[in-house]
Structure 1
Amino acid sequence: MGFWTLFEVASMPILQVLLISVLGALMATDYLKLLPSDARKSLNKIVFVVFTPSLMFASLAKTVTLDDIISWWFMPINIGLTFLVGGILGWIVVKILKPEVHLEGLIVATCSAGNLGNLLLIVIPAICKEDGSPFGDHGICSSVGLSYASFSMAVGGFYIWTYTYHLIRSSSVKFRAMKAAEEDALKKPNNDLLNANEKSHLLQDDDLAVTNIQDPENQAIIHPSIKKGEVSSWSKIAGTLNKIVEELLAPPTVAAIIGLIFGSVTWLKNLIIGSNAPLRVIQDSVKLLGDGTIPCITLILGGNLTQGLRKAKVKPMIIIAVVCVRYIFSPLVGILVLKAAGKLGFLAGDPLYKFVLMIQYTLPPAMNIGTMTQLFDVAQEECSVLFLWTYLVAAFALTIWSTIFMWLLS
């Protein structure tokens, strides 16, 4: 397969995302007024509660079996490593560049969470169909590749809707707490203004004893007179467990778990999957809803982009750092990880399986990050700007790295 043929294959899904984003941007303009801010927020909630869970369930229930889960045991570990590597590199970027508080979670998220869904579902079968592909028969390659991509999307969705979801939510909580503190400081009346003296502008120790401070992380009111060590460890543990449960109960995560159950249990799968399944209308309806996920997310991102280009304050160095993490450092680490796993005997002999594992380190940021920023009303415009640049670079990065990966596997 030639470089330009591969470039065309890799760039098609990227171009789709960019074209739909442009349409969303036009729909959000004051001229058309089809996708104003309130409409985007409402549509985003529908995506979160209905469309994304439908996509997760439909893909998993149809393509993944219990034998697949057992034989592909390394894939969840590999995807977890992509999040770990990207997360560490993202935090390094945050510590070095010191962005605003509301951008910290977004930067780490875009560095760690790759688009393991629609891009793999398009790119892998497309590569399999090309002449010169090193992955054998076109039909078998496409079928197996679709299963790999679907399982990758499901596992990635679980990480995204737990780890990445937590990042964006925590960033939102910190940002709101900071804003609230600033507003309180501005609104606090000075009753002694007329009789002010030099001491009236200083905060006395006695005042601290009656002041409450809000902990943005746990959203709990803590009295300053209570020492940090006096906070109950059980309360901390309970709070952490409560957060984990909340994130696991997010609709996409619940749908992924149910989809895995239906895909793994044969008699449940036969109820809804197949031309003779008695309840096949359920799968058809859920798939129909799931098909609307990617277009809606992309339209929302495009709509946010119109504001982002005017209002977003993303330093060029942040954009460059995120692009370098996603398309230079992460793929290099991925090659080392897969080489080590192969020598230890953790990988199956199928070169397509190894290719999917490698390309998981090279994908642009997950589209669901945009859903989360819209959901928590934090850094939506900056998210759109980062997505614009990372997806523009993705067409070339995916092509170059796909060529390198196939050369390593041939």
Structure 2
Amino acid sequence: YNYVKGAMFPQSDTMAQPTEMPDPQKGLLPSGEQSGEVPALATQSPLVPKPPAAWAAAPASWFAAFWKAAKPLLNPPIVAIIIGLTIAFVPPLHKVWVAQKGPLTWLSTSLTRLGQSVVPISMITLGSNIYEGPGKKMDRATIAVMFAIRQLVMPLFGVALAVAFSKIGIFASGDALPPLVLMILGSAPTANNIIAMCTALSVGAVELSTCTFWQYLGFLGLQLMYIPLFLQVALSL
């Protein structure tokens, strides 16, 4: 045994000697490894399973990615539109909510009456935001760009949209009212429900009110030019 040990496993001063022998009463490993301390070499070995933290780096599912991208867009009006369209196009839900003597008709009627107060409340909120004037917290260039987009670019886009809808048959030929309404809505200032949402969330309410103040001020003069143009376009379709 000594001969084989000396020939095949010669003693060397450079060989690492164990600092602590295993104790049969305490365990098979030294105290450092017994306590859970993993040597650095073992953690770098490809045979050691990766920690659970690596699982977090795995790509998320398509639903999680879609929800992350769509969540910022789901404001209360959009959610209400989605729910309303779902009830309107699904016959069983339509019978439950809207049909006469339906089990939830009372709730639908109550929500309808509650929704009728949105416009007056929005006008009160708008007046409370702009009664002190435009304020001086925004740069003039920012106000000018937003005014140009809302009062100059969007009306032209509304005209182009009305013409396109008439060409593809969405608007009936000879009926000037739908394209006229579409063009007037395209030239209107920012919707009041957006201002109400910003006020309720305390995010950008003052800045949006400043821009809205100038939009309403310019809207009064620009409509004198837009209305004849809109009427001419609507009657020609």
2:145 matches 1:321 = yes
Aligned mate of 2:217, from 384, 387, 392: 392
- When residues 260 and 399 of structure 1 are mapped into structure 2, their CA distance, relative to the original with a 3 A threshold, is farther
Distance, in Å, in 2 between the alignment partners of 1:408 and 1:307 is 38
The equivalent residue for 1:409 is: 234
Counterpart residue identity of residue 402, structure 1: I
Alignment of 1:121-140 (within 5 A): none
Q: Percent identity?
A: 29
Cα distance between partner residues in 1 of 2:221 and 2:68: 39
Aligned to 2:78: 253
For residue 408 of structure 1, report the CA deviation from its aligned partner.
1.8
Q: What is the rounded CA distance, in whole Å, between the counterparts of 1:277 and 1:399 in structure 2?
A: 48
Q: 1:351 aligns with which of 166, 176, 180?
A: 176
Per-residue CA deviations over 1:85-132 (Å, capped at 9, x if unaligned) read xxxxxxxxxxxxxxxxxxxxxxxxxxxxxxxxxxxxxxxxxxxxxxxx
Q: Is the 8 A contact 1:308 1:385 kept in 2?
A: yes
Taking the aligned partners of 1:387 and 1:342, their CA distance within structure 2 comes to: 31
Q: Quick one: which amino acid aligns to residue 118 of structure 2?
A: T
The CA deviation at 1:318 is 3.3
| Equivalences, count | 179
Gaps of 5+ in 1: 1-231
- Structure 1 residues 327 and 248, CA, compared in 2 at 3 Å: closer, same or farther? closer
CA distance in 1 between counterparts of 2:147 and 2:67 reads: 34
TM-score (norm 1): 0.36
1:344 Cα deviation after fit: 5.0
Q: What does 1:2-401 correspond to in 2, within 5 Å?
A: 234=59, 241-247=66-72, 250-266=75-91, 268-273=93-98, 277=102, 279-305=104-130, 309=134, 312-345=136-169, 347-349=171-173, 350-398=175-223, 400-401=225-226
Q: What CA distance in whole angstroms lies between the structure 2 residues aligned with 1:300 and 1:402?
A: 28
Gapped regions of structure 2 (runs ≥ 5): 1-56
Instruction: Kindly name which structure, 1 or 2, has the bigger radius of gyration based on alpha carbons.
Output: 2
Task: Encode CA deviations 1:14-45: one digit per residue, 9 max, x unaligned.
Answer: xxxxxxxxxxxxxxxxxxxxxxxxxxxxxxxx
Structure 1: distance between partners of 2:152 and 2:75: 32
Contact 1:308 1:382 in 2 (8 A): no
Aligned-residue offset at 1:347 = 4.3
1:233–1:409 CA distance, 2 compared to 1 (3 A): farther
Q: Which moved more, 1:380-389 or 1:257-266?
A: 257-266
Question: Which fold has the larger relative contact order, with Cα–Cα distance below 8 Å and residues 6 or more apart in sequence?
Answer: 1
TM-superposed CA distance for 1:364, in Å, is 1.0
Higher helix share: 1
Give the 3 Å change call, closer, same or farther, for CA 314–239 of structure 1 in structure 2. farther
Whole-angstrom CA distance in 2 between matches of 1:373 and 1:358: 26
Using the TM superposition, give the Cα deviation of residue 285 of structure 1 relative to its aligned residue in structure 2, in angstroms: 0.9
Scaled by the length of structure 2, what TM-score is found? 0.57
Aligned-CA RMSD value: 3.7
Give yes or no for contact 1:248–1:254 (8 Å, CA) kept in 2. Answer: no
1:308 and 1:384 in contact (8 A); partners too: no
Give 1:409's aligned amino acid.
A
The one-letter amino acid of 1:328's match is: L
- C-alpha distance in 2 between matches for 1:271 and 1:260: 14
Alpha-carbon deviations, 1:41-84, whole Å to 9, x = none?
A: xxxxxxxxxxxxxxxxxxxxxxxxxxxxxxxxxxxxxxxxxxxx
Question: Hey, what's the Cα distance between the residues in 2 that align with 1:258 and 1:325?
Answer: 31
CA gap 1:352/1:270 in 2 versus in 1, 3 angstroms:
farther
